Every structure is written in structure tokens, then in C-alpha cells.
Chains A and B, each alone.
Chain A
Amino acid sequence: MAYLDYKVAQIPTGWRKILHISWPLVLLVTAVCCIGFVMLYSVAGGRLDLWAEPQMYRFAVGMVLMIGLAFVPMWFWRGISVAAYVVCFLMLVAVDLFGVIGMGARRWIDLGPIRIQPSELMKIALVLLLAAYYDWLDIRRVSRPLWVIIPALLILAPTALVLIQPDLGTSIMLVAGGAIVMFAAGVSLWYFAIIAAAGVGLVTAVLKSRGTEWQLLKDYQYRRIDTFLDPYADPLGAGYNIIQSQIAFGSGGWSGRGFMQGSQSRLNFLPEKHTDFIFTVLAEEFGFVGAISLLTLYMLILGFCLYSALTNRDRFASLITIGISGTFFLYFAINMATVMGLLPAKGSPLPLVSYGGTSLMILMLGFGLVQSAHVHRPR
């Protein structure tokens, strides 16, 4: 228990913890969420009740959750890490067996008033477990094959369950999130290089095998790849969303077309504008200035998290902070890249901004953990 090695007395207790919360981080998160409210108000055509208001309530709940979690000491997280992982894993199995089908995939467990999406909770639980694992593991063994295979399996088991839901996007997020923790824990770079090389090889194989007898993907999956590489090949079908998104994005120009003036959004050329394509609306209405500002806010959040992680001498806490902020980074980078046409279209929300309760709550839970790590850092 590395944490007990430090001078316990210097760690704040009771209500004094509130003074040690990273308030800049709270402010940044609030600022990003406020941008979200404004955009939700705008895409609803000036209606508050449609999306902005429910989102505000959720944010309020999420804020209380985050502050509340900041008070929870680190030993608690370490203690529940294995249990949390197992519970999430069992829930994933349950979802695959008898979950609610929505949008063509089984993702939800229905518990009366609330619906739980275990794959989202798993993102946090996986980071927790891996952090606890590397905290426990002798640092000299980190790169030994056996001790690399164990966390790899811990990552791949839930990923496989999510993949058969099917939810490719979340599976990728799980793998990437886990990989970030492994990376930060100091697993040899060779492993990552080999995985990267294998990935490149696989992509090559997939593309080369097309039309041959051992074709690896289904035809419609290849068509998606085609659409990504050249959306104009299917301008009214699969390419439609991404073309319209690019038009909206680009037409924002330097300062945008003005609040609630985006023609693409107003005229419904843009799909899913309150969720996956909300960044496009921001870029259209507030232009380059708006888009780069949001990116900057996100990067500042990352900066604070990284600073907290690097100055924290508790290995477990550092790894949690890096894992969660890394997952957060993947969230917004993937969404932004998608709406700008840099990645193939795959429904993913913009963190803290897109409408949606589950995503917001999970993020606030994550930031609560980051705060907890920050408050209880050894001094």
C-alpha cells in the first residue's frame, strides 16, 4: 500500500478537502458544458425545453456527483477496483444475453426508471483495475511477457463482449483506454510498436483481400470504407452525412455565420445535429474561433489532468488520472476528426457537449475520480 507510506497527516480530511479540489478543472468542465447548453439551445431552434434544459439538470446532478466523489479516499477506489470490474463484466454478459435492443444493437440494461449502459461504465472500471494492477505489480516486471498478457486479457475480455453487441466504437475506446494505462505504466515500447505494425498489416490485408476468395469483411463494410475514402462516390447515401457536415463546417469561416444562423443546421441538411454532429453546428455558427476555442478548453482540461498526474507520487492515482484523461481525449479527438471527415463516420458523441445522459454522467464520474486522486495526493 504505497499510499500509506506517505505522511498521512498532510492529506486533507473532512470538509477541508473542498479547498484542495482542482477548482480550475471544475471551471473548465463547467465552461465546456455551458458551450454545450448554448449549442443545444441553438439546434433546438431556440427552444430550451427540448434538449438544453434536461442537459442542465443532468449537469447539475453530475456536478454534485463529481464533487462528492472528490471526497472519497483513494484506498476505497483501490479496494473496489476488482469488484467494479467483475460487476461491469457480468453486466456486459447480461446485456448480451437479455439486454434491450436499441438502434440495432444490444447495449442497455433496463432497470425500471434508469437504463444502464454497462459498456460505458466498463471504460472507467477497466482504467481502475489496470491502475490497481500496475500499482501492485513490481515495476521491474512490467514488461515481462506474462505480466503484459494478463492486462491484455483484462482489456480484451470485455472488449469482445462489447464487440458482439455489436458496438465497434466502444470496443475501440476500451482497447485504446486500456492501452493508454499500459503505456503510462511503462510497458516496453516494443509491444506497442509490434501492435501498431500488426494493425498496419491487418489493414493492408483487409484492403488487399477485397474481391478475392478470402475476402475478410462483408461487402457493405467495404462500401463504408469506400464512402470514407471518397464520400462523393455515394453522395446521397452513406456519404451524405459527412459531405453535409464538411460543407457546414467549412462554411463557418473565420468567425462563423452567427448564433442560430447556420444555414446547414437550420435547413436540416445536417443529421444528428444535437448529438454526433454538434461540433459541426458550433463550427458553422461560431467559425474557426469557436471551434479552436473548444479545442483549447479541452486541451486545458487535459493539461490540468496531466499536471495532476505527474505531480502525484501515488502510482495508482497517477495512472487513474492519465487513463481517464486519455479516454476523454480519445472521445473528443475521434468526434472532431469524424465530423471533419478525417475518420470514417461512426456515431460518437462530443464529450460534455453532446446531448445524452449516460455519456455526461460517465464523464462526470471520471472527473470525480480525477479530483479524488488530486485531493488525496501524497504530499
Chain B
Amino acid sequence: MKKSPREIQDSSRMITRRGLMLGGIQIATAGALAMQMRSMQLDHAEEFRMLADGNSIKIRLLPPARGLILDRNGIVIAGNEQNYRVTLTREEAGGDVEPILRRLAQIIPLSDARIEELLEEFSRRSAITPIVLADRLSWEEFSAIAVNAPSLPGVTPESALSRHYPRRGDFAHVMGYVGPVSDHDLSRIEEPDPVLRLPDFQLGKIGVEGRMEEILRGKAGARRVEVNSTGREMRELSRQEGEQGATLQLTVDAALQNYAAQRLGEESAAAVVMDCETGELAAICSSPSFDPNLFVRGISSRDYRALMDHDHRPLADKTVQGVYPPGSTFKMITLMAGLEAGVVNAGTRFFCPGHTELGGRRFHCWRRGGHGSVDAIKSLEESCDVYYYELAQRVGIDRIAEMARKFGLGVRHDLPMSAVAEGIAPDREWKMRRHGQPWQIGDSLNASIGQGYVLSSPLQLAVMTARIASGRAVEPRLIRAIDGVRQPIPEWPELEGVSANTLRVTRLGMDAVMYGSRGTARASRITRDEWRMAGKTGTSQVRNITAAERARGVISNEQLPWNRRDHALFVAYAPFEAPKYAISLVVEHGGGGSTAAAPLARDILLFALNGGLPPLDAVPSDQRAAMEARHQAMDLFIPEPPRNARTRV
């Protein structure tokens, strides 16, 4: 294509015009850049020169105060306390830190071994990193150091906030703890907040502290200080305080949690109390516990080893991490699956001769002599195994597993705690995937009574019970409010595919467990009508009982070593008519559910219902003396009434 001269002329005219415009823009931009250079280098040069002179003005970060964690009534369960400490910066000390440490040792207790340790640390760390020499000083020691400051170059006495857990072991597993920031922590965070690099900054490690770290941490402040040539602070030029992290209010009740912890005592056990309506967890307690304050200070290796070596595993959170065969507490699921599938109704009876023969194997009922003719309610009341063996063969495992998941078993519930377990609600597909083997009918029989492959955590059992009580798909909740803003509670949907009749039969069965003449937990009933309860015991085997052993006579739990005894379980809710609280309780290797777990669960449930110590008239009369004695032996936490509460005259 040939261009006409006219066109060429147009083109070059346009390019000239636009080129000149571009040139103008470029010159204007360069002018702006030059103006900025002038402003910075000529007009404000003095100020910048001052800043630059050895960078005599330093900006130091002020760590923010960590957000408080409160219980549902506003009681502090994780707070901050003033911590007086001294740090030393090698560069400011003029290089040789040893004489300074020796001088300091005359003022505060500082062992030779500790000095060696510190010298080693100084040689590893950069010269400008302040290193904490001593921590948690008394006010006297702190002021003595301040007075002697001139002879201690580089030593800075400072006060900092440190995490403190006033409720000690009560909330150790829920709360987790904070600890110093490790390189590993930093490498996991994409854009680490610079405040994390401060010496001894505390970062939430596990539990709520770890999971809610973002909102608890707050925002760092900064201060500009003038330093002299050795780096010593001369004066503070400006100060911008940080913002404290958000206050987190949990759903737990500190008094109830404390009572639950004491009632569990030294057992290796877990208890979860959940509000049937809202799903709020009122107590979530794993025993034995540990003092999280030890971890904040940096736990000694001796203390740590003691915790690790303890056979009751105090560091493990048994409420959400621990999974157990639910034993007979699973029978409600099997029953409901059977009722919904229509293979039985409330009146259907099976005969229990004490065992079931299946494919040459004999599956025993816990009562050798058998229960005779058993219907749905009686099957729960007396916890007849054979009834469920019959049921399982008719319902099939897949429908049982589906029912289990509907009630929150084998499902991971979302809680801001660490390592929340998913448990197992086994079905055919699961076994093929996990073990590469087809499902056997014997597996169904074991699963029907909560043995075999079934595993669930105490949290899941509490969710199951709350769902039976309310008929709604309640989810557990732990956060009640953030910075005073109440977290909305969803309207939990009604459970689908579970008819009102199914739920009614199941609840009546659980009622019979407590109040039926042969109820397995009759001894642990509540005797006040307005708190009438419904429950279910469970005893889950940790070992297989061989035929030979059975022939010899099954060894009773007391004769076995502790870690081979059965787990004791119990789930319950109350009041029967208008359910308020659901509880699940597991005592590891505790023996029978009715003797080892049910009484504890009943007492904790009573505390929750009463909002204080269980009244003696709420338990059968023969247990009142023992209960009173127990109460007197307890060192209970009585919360002070919140300041804004109305006082009764």
C-alpha cells in the first residue's frame, strides 16, 4: 500500500504534535522530581541529616498487650501481668559482656551456670539483639538495677506484659498457651508482623491462643527515641501506643469447668458439657491437666519430661483429640437407624439368650445369662447387646454409619482448638479404602454396640447427645463474643430423616436407663423432678477377650493392669422435658460406665443445672453423705460477682 504525500504529511504533523505533548509531560514530571529533590535535599536537609547522623533517632516497637480471654461471665481466664526483667545489648555494652554480668550477679541472683549459658547465647546472637538476662524480678531487684545503671552499660531494666493464666490447669487444653516465637513459627507466616521479631514476644502456640492468634495479638505501637553514640537512650521523642488485641469471650463457665476438673480428679478422663439449644460449650475439661504458665515462662526440661512421662498423658487434650470406642453409648445410633429404616418399631422384640451365633462365631451379651425378651426401650435400659446384634444384621452398616454422621460422629466439628479429631463412623466404603478388605457381618455386630472400628471423641458424643435431646443439628461453639460483640447463634436446623417418634423412643429409652427399675445408671439418677435426666452408660473394651479367657472366666477389671482396663463412658442430658445441657464423660480405663463415669457426669450436670454446687437433695439419699464430704474436700473456685451485676440487698 502506497501512502499519499498528503497522508505522510498528516502523519508527521500528528507525530510532531503528540511527540511535543509527550515531551512536555516528561519535562513536567522531571520538574516534579527535581522539586522533590530540592525539597528533601535543600529545604529539609538538616532534619534528614540529624536523623542520619549515626541514625541517632531510633524507632523502637512497643509490643501490644495481648487480648484478654474471658469466660461466659466475664471472668478472666487468660490475662496479662506485669513482668520486670533486664536485658543487655552487646553493642551498647561495648563488646565485653562478662564483667557486666559479674557485676549484675551481685545485685540479682545469677548463677555461674546461667552466666555461662548467657555468654554462649551472646556469642550466637547479633550484637544489636537485646537478650533477656533475668525475668520476673521483684520490684526491689528491679529498682536496684535501675539505681546501678551507670555501672552497667547496655543493661536495660524494663517492664513488659507477660501472659498469665489465673485459672491454671482448668483451661490448659482449651486455651493452649503462648510461648516465644521460634524460627519455625516465622517461616510459616507469609508476611510476619515485625513485632514477632522482638525479643521474647509471645505467640499463641496451640488451642484458642494459637487458633485465634490473629485477633488476640493486637497492633504494635512505636516510640522514637534519641540515642547517643553508644546506643543508650537519651530521651523519648514521641510515643504511639499500640492497640490491645481483641477481648475474646468464650462460652465456657469457669466455675463449672473448675468443678468438673476437680470432680474428674486424678482420673485420666474427659468431660464435655454442651448447651443443647445453642451448642455453646459450658465446660470442656481434660484430666489430668498441667499449668500453662509453665510454658509461658519456658518450661524446664525436668518439668517437661515429667509431663511427657506421665502415663495419664496430661498434655493430651482428651476432649477433642482423644478418640475412644463409644461402646454402648453408640446404641442410640443403631436403634435410631433401625427405627428409621423400619426394620423394627418400638414394640419389636428380640430374644436374648446371652449370646448370638453367627458364622461359627459367638458374640456375647455383657450379661452371660441373657435378658430374655427385649424391646427397644428395654434394650437401652439394660443395654442388651444381643438386641443390637439382631438389629445390625437387619439394618446394615451403611445406614448405621449414615445415622452416626447425622448425629455428629465421624465428622470433624469446627472449633478453635488444636487437632480436633474426626473419629470414625465406619461403613463398607471406609473399610475398603482404609484396610482394603470387604466389610464382614461380624464388623457390623461389633460396630452396632460401639466397638470394633467405631471411634469418637468426647466432644462428638456430647454433640450426639445434644442432638438427640434437641432434635436439631446443633454444632459446638466456643466463642461467645469478640470485643463485646456477641457472635450470632444460628438457628440450628431440625435433623432431617429422623422422625419425632424415633427421637421419642430413644429419649424414653435413655430415661429408662436412669429411672427404670433395672436401668444401668439408676444409682446415678437425679432425684429432683424438674431436673429429670436421660442418659446412657458405655463400657468399651480396650482388649480382645479370647474364647479361652472367657472359658476361664473373664478377669475382672480390678485385676488387670490400669492401661488394659475398659474405658468407662457416659452421656446424658437434662432436664428431660426441656433439655438444657448435654454431657459426655469418658474415664480412660475406668472400668464400667455405670460406676466410673455416670456418677461424675451426673454431678457435673447438676452443677451446670444449679449454677453452683449440686444440692444434696438432688441425689439418692444414700449418696448424700459421700457427696457432702466430697464437696468439703474440694477447693472450689467461687467467682466474684461481676462488677456490673446488680447486688441484692
Query: Binary interface profile of A, 336-347, with partner B (CB < 8 Å = 1, else 0)?
Result: 110010100000
A-B pairs with beta carbons under 8 Å apart, 5 shown: A138-B7, A184-B22, A237-B193, A248-B48, A303-B23
Residue of A nearest to B51 (CB): A247
Closest-CB distance, B214 to chain A (whole angstroms): 10
Judged by a CB distance under 8 angstroms, whether B612 is at the interface is no
A73–B420 Cα distance when bound, in Å, is 71
* B626-644, CB < 8 A from A: none
Judged by a CB distance under 8 angstroms, whether B436 is at the interface is no
Q: What chain A residues lie within 8 Å of B10 (beta carbons)? A: 139
A235–B54 Cα distance when bound, in Å, is 17
Among A251, A306, A313, point to the contact of B49 (Cβ < 8 A): A251
Closest-CB distance, B196 to chain A (whole angstroms): 10
Judged by a CB distance under 8 angstroms, whether A299 is at the interface is yes
Chain A contact residue count (CB 8 A cutoff)? 57
Judged by a CB distance under 8 angstroms, whether A236 is at the interface is yes
Closest-CB distance, B39 to chain A (whole angstroms): 9
Q: What chain B residues lie within 8 Å of A306 (beta carbons)? A: 19, 22-23
List residues of chain B with CB under 8 Å of any chain A CB: 1-3, 7-8, 10-12, 14-16, 18-23, 26-27, 29-30, 32-34, 36-38, 40-42, 44-45, 47-49, 51-55, 59, 61, 190-191, 193-194, 222
Among B19, B53, B55, B61, point to the contact of A310 (Cβ < 8 A): B19
Given contacts A183-B22, A309-B15, contact A250 B55 (CB under 8 A): no
Judged by a CB distance under 8 angstroms, whether A356 is at the interface is no
* A232-247, CB < 8 A from B: 232, 234-237, 240, 246-247
A301–B18 Cα distance when bound, in Å, is 18
In contact, A299 and B30 (Cβ under 8 angstroms) = yes
In contact, A299 and B26 (Cβ under 8 angstroms) = yes
Q: What chain A residues lie within 8 Å of B20 (beta carbons)? A: 310
In contact, B18 and A186 (Cβ under 8 angstroms) = yes
Q: What chain A residues lie within 8 Å of B55 (beta carbons)? A: 247, 263-264, 267, 269
Q: What chain A residues lie within 8 Å of B8 (beta carbons)? A: 2, 5, 313, 315
Closest-CB distance, B187 to chain A (whole angstroms): 14
Q: What chain B residues lie within 8 Å of A299 (beta carbons)? A: 26-27, 30
Given contacts A139-B11, A186-B18, A340-B36, contact A302 B222 (CB under 8 A): no
Sample of 9 more A-B contacts, CB < 8 Å, known A250-B47, A287-B41, A337-B33: A186-B14, A220-B190, A220-B191, A246-B40, A247-B51, A249-B41, A253-B41, A310-B19, A315-B11
- List the 4 shortest-distance A-B pairs measured between CB atoms, nearest first: A250-B48, A251-B52, A253-B45, A186-B14
A299–B28 Cα distance when bound, in Å, is 11
In contact, A251 and B30 (Cβ under 8 angstroms) = no
A240, A247, A326: which has the most chain B beta carbons within 10 Å? Answer: A247
Closest-CB distance, A341 to chain B (whole angstroms): 8
A232–B33 Cα distance when bound, in Å, is 22
Among A2, A139, A180, A237, point to the contact of B22 (Cβ < 8 A): A180
A240–B194 Cα distance when bound, in Å, is 10
A185–B12 Cα distance when bound, in Å, is 9
Closest-CB distance, B234 to chain A (whole angstroms): 19
Judged by a CB distance under 8 angstroms, whether A99 is at the interface is no
Stretch at the interface among A36-44, A151-159, A288-296, A368-376: A288-296
Q: What chain A residues lie within 8 Å of B23 (beta carbons)? A: 302-303, 306
Given contacts A237-B194, A295-B34, A340-B33, contact A310 B42 (CB under 8 A): no
A249–B49 Cα distance when bound, in Å, is 9
Given contacts A310-B16, A315-B11, contact A295 B33 (CB under 8 A): yes
A283–B34 Cα distance when bound, in Å, is 12
In contact, A254 and B33 (Cβ under 8 angstroms) = no
Judged by a CB distance under 8 angstroms, whether A329 is at the interface is yes
Judged by a CB distance under 8 angstroms, whether A252 is at the interface is yes
Residue of B nearest to A309 (CB): B19
In contact, A322 and B37 (Cβ under 8 angstroms) = no
Closest-CB distance, B29 to chain A (whole angstroms): 5
Query: Binary interface profile of A, 266-295, with partner B (CB < 8 Å = 1, else 0)?
Result: 010100000000000001100110011001
Q: What chain A residues lie within 8 Å of B30 (beta carbons)? A: 295, 298-299, 333
Residue of A nearest to B61 (CB): A236
A235–B194 Cα distance when bound, in Å, is 9
Q: What chain B residues lie within 8 Å of A359 (beta carbons)? A: none
A324–B222 Cα distance when bound, in Å, is 45
Q: What chain B residues lie within 8 Å of A288 (beta carbons)? A: 37-38, 41-42
Q: What chain B residues lie within 8 Å of A310 (beta carbons)? A: 15-16, 19-20
Given contacts A251-B49, A288-B38, contact A184 B18 (CB under 8 A): yes
Query: Binary interface profile of A, 61-99, with partner B (CB < 8 Å = 1, else 0)?
Result: 000000000000000000000000000000000000000
Closest-CB distance, A36 to chain B (whole angstroms): 18
A51–B61 Cα distance when bound, in Å, is 35
Residue of B nearest to A287 (CB): B41
B20, B33, B53: which has the most chain A beta carbons within 10 Å? Answer: B33
* A182-212, CB < 8 A from B: 183-186
A190–B55 Cα distance when bound, in Å, is 50
In contact, B53 and A263 (Cβ under 8 angstroms) = yes
A69–B17 Cα distance when bound, in Å, is 28
Judged by a CB distance under 8 angstroms, whether A318 is at the interface is yes
Q: What chain A residues lie within 8 Å of B18 (beta carbons)? A: 183-186
Q: What chain A residues lie within 8 Å of B190 (beta carbons)? A: 220
In contact, A249 and B40 (Cβ under 8 angstroms) = yes
Among A234, A291, A292, point to the contact of B194 (Cβ < 8 A): A234
Q: What chain B residues lie within 8 Å of A292 (beta carbons)? A: 34, 37
In contact, A2 and B3 (Cβ under 8 angstroms) = yes
Closest-CB distance, A342 to chain B (whole angstroms): 6
Judged by a CB distance under 8 angstroms, whether A352 is at the interface is no
Judged by a CB distance under 8 angstroms, whether A319 is at the interface is yes
In contact, B41 and A5 (Cβ under 8 angstroms) = no
Q: What chain B residues lie within 8 Å of A333 (beta carbons)? A: 26, 29-30, 33
Closest-CB distance, B287 to chain A (whole angstroms): 40
In contact, A250 and B29 (Cβ under 8 angstroms) = no
Closest-CB distance, A353 to chain B (whole angstroms): 15
Q: What chain B residues lie within 8 Å of A319 (beta carbons)? A: 15
In contact, A291 and B26 (Cβ under 8 angstroms) = no
In contact, B42 and A139 (Cβ under 8 angstroms) = no
In contact, A247 and B52 (Cβ under 8 angstroms) = yes
In contact, A250 and B44 (Cβ under 8 angstroms) = yes
Closest-CB distance, B413 to chain A (whole angstroms): 27
Given contacts A180-B22, A295-B30, A313-B8, contact A235 B222 (CB under 8 A): yes
Q: What chain A residues lie within 8 Å of B27 (beta carbons)? A: 299
Q: What chain B residues lie within 8 Å of A283 (beta carbons)? A: 37, 41
Given contacts A251-B49, A310-B15, contact A302 B26 (CB under 8 A): yes
A284–B32 Cα distance when bound, in Å, is 19
Q: What chain B residues lie within 8 Å of A313 (beta carbons)? A: 8, 12
Among A184, A185, A254, point to the contact of B45 (Cβ < 8 A): A254
* A100-155, CB < 8 A from B: 136, 138-139
Q: What chain B residues lie within 8 Å of A234 (beta carbons)? A: 194
Q: What chain A residues lie within 8 Å of B49 (beta carbons)? A: 250-251, 253
Closest-CB distance, B51 to chain A (whole angstroms): 5
Q: What chain B residues lie within 8 Å of A340 (beta carbons)? A: 33, 36-37, 40
Q: What chain B residues lie within 8 Å of A2 (beta carbons)? A: 3, 8
Q: What chain A residues lie within 8 Å of B41 (beta carbons)? A: 249-250, 252-254, 283, 287-288, 291
In contact, B222 and A184 (Cβ under 8 angstroms) = no
A235–B61 Cα distance when bound, in Å, is 8
Among B7, B29, B34, B59, point to the contact of A139 (Cβ < 8 A): B7
Among A250, A267, A298, A322, point to the contact of B40 (Cβ < 8 A): A250
A288–B35 Cα distance when bound, in Å, is 11
Q: What chain B residues lie within 8 Å of A251 (beta carbons)? A: 45, 48-49, 51-53
Given contacts A249-B40, A295-B30, A315-B11, contact A326 B45 (CB under 8 A): no
In contact, A291 and B37 (Cβ under 8 angstroms) = yes
B12, B23, B41, B59: which has the most chain A beta carbons within 10 Å? Answer: B41
Closest-CB distance, B191 to chain A (whole angstroms): 6
In contact, A322 and B19 (Cβ under 8 angstroms) = yes
Closest-CB distance, B130 to chain A (whole angstroms): 14
